[in-house]
Amino acid sequence: MSLAAAWRRLAYVAGGASAGFLASYRHDFKQLEFDVAALSGPALRFLDGETAHNVAIWAAAHGLLPKETRPDPPSLRTTVWDRDFPNPLGLAAGFDKSAEGPEALLNLGFGFVEIGSVTPLPQPGNAKPRVFRIEEEGAVINRYGFNNDGVDAVRQRLKTFRNRQDDPSTSTPAGLLGVNLGKNKATEDAAADYCIGVAKLARLADYLVINVSSPNTPGLRALQGRRELQSLVRRVKAERDALAWHGKPAPPLLIKIAPDLTAEDLGDIAAVALSEGVDGLVVSNTTLERPPGVAAHPAGAEAGGLSGAPLFERSTAVLGQLYRLTHGRLPLIGVGGVSTGEQAYRKIRAGASLVQLYTSLALSGPALVRRVKLELAACLARDGFKSVADAVGADHRRDAQGRRA
């Protein structure tokens, strides 16, 4: 379905709600603006998953998303890698693959947005259909396959974004920008592709992510093996460090891992991350597992990675394991199944310094962002934490106290 046809169908389905949605942009009634925007979520469900995604990206690229101007609770401000985040809630990679609308997405109220995965050359990804909603389970299966516009197109868009940020006459959001790097499907030397991404995009990123965990690129997850990962990290770090930074700090380098790993695999990843000076881990990508509720759905048999609510417990358990294995020395970004502030808080207590979501935004709409932040602030206050940093890894401190007792 073309974007034009999608908009016509949305107009038919949403009717007056769409008119109210557009009218709300002309006023400063922020809650009304987000509430009306939330009506677009149910309307988008009348489109197939990928078309709905494309409509959302088109809206972001053209500045048609609501803009959050209400301040965040002070307890949500946090500093990671000597970078100040207005809040710890980010948008995960995969939503804006080609950096078409990072400013608009930050304006939704995210503390940071991660674009990508970006490959050196443009590629179309896997054959369609490749996105399948399982709304009863709060889940999505996708097999996109790193479809994106390539590193050169993304570089130009990020330059434009950074120029706007540097221009005092423009009003740009305070959040940070991560760049998630992938490899082209046909590339045999994966490290070479990641190095191209670093060379062209590192100066435009607040942090970089090596994505070695998508299940939709053949052979990619094999890069999580100890020797393979060690070799990859050394080459990519050398590429980053060889760039001229002119006194500025180089962007932190993170690895994004899968949830479908053995205890031995996790131990190897933690050991490589610590020994090679990796700056953090993103935990985790989508899963190949199919819990009973998903397996019973007609779309449950589709190939691809499962995201959303069914991933929460597994990804949070892996997060906690890696926090222990790295002795709390590496900042972790917790992602997988987050749709409430309580769930974001659980990720933080398990060891996450920052938290990301994606599927819940696609299913619920932009009002979710502020709701999660307010709920998270309430959780911190309830348990006596004055800041996000105070709560990071709290479950492990409690467990240690219990063992000593």
Instruction: Give backbone dihedrals phi and psi of 256, rounded to 5 degrees, phi first.
Output: -100, 125
pLDDT at 258 over 60: yes
Mean pLDDT computed over every residue of the chain:
92
Strands 139-142 and 176-181: unpaired
pLDDT at 22 over 50: no
Structure tokens at 298: 């007609």
**Distance, CA of 88 to CA of 404 (rounded, Å):** 31
Task: Compute and round to an integer the Cα radius of gyration of the chain.
Answer: 20
The 8-class DSSP code of residue 287 comes to B
User: pLDDT-derived band of residue 39, with 50, 70 and 90 as boundaries?
Assistant: low
Instruction: Identify the residue with better confidence: 6 or 357.
Output: 357
pLDDT at 401 over 80: no
Name the residue type at position 353. S
The pLDDT tens digits for 141-195 are 999 999 999 999 999 999 999 999 999 999 889 899 999 999 999 999 999 999 9
| HSE-CB for 272 with a 13 A CA cutoff | 23
Catalytic annotation, residues: 214
Residue with tokens 């400013």, as numbered in its chain: 103
**In sequence order, which ranges of 122-281 are alpha helices (DSSP H)?**
151-166, 190-201, 226-242, 263-275
pLDDT at 404 over 60: no
For residue 362, give every residue at least 6 positions away whose Cβ sits within 8 Å of its Cβ, in sequence order, or none: 52, 53, 56, 95, 140
pLDDT recorded at residue 42? 61
Check if the beta carbon of residue 216 is closer than 8 Å to that of residue 258.
no
Residue with tokens 């709701």, as numbered in its chain: 371
Instruction: Give backbone dihedrals phi and psi of 262, rounded to 5 degrees, phi first.
Output: -80, 170
Q: Give the three-class secondary structure for 340.
A: coil
For residue 72, give every residue at least 6 positions away whose Cβ sits within 8 Å of its Cβ, in sequence order, or none: 86, 87, 109, 111, 373, 377
Check if the beta carbon of residue 222 is closer than 8 Å to that of residue 188.
no
The pLDDT tens digits for 111-121 are 999 999 999 99
Q: Give the three-class secondary structure for 345.
A: helix
Domains and CATH numbers, the chain: 78-404 (3.20.20.70)
pLDDT at 197 over 90: yes
Name the residue type at position 354. L
Check if the beta carbon of residue 224 is closer than 8 Å to that of residue 262.
no
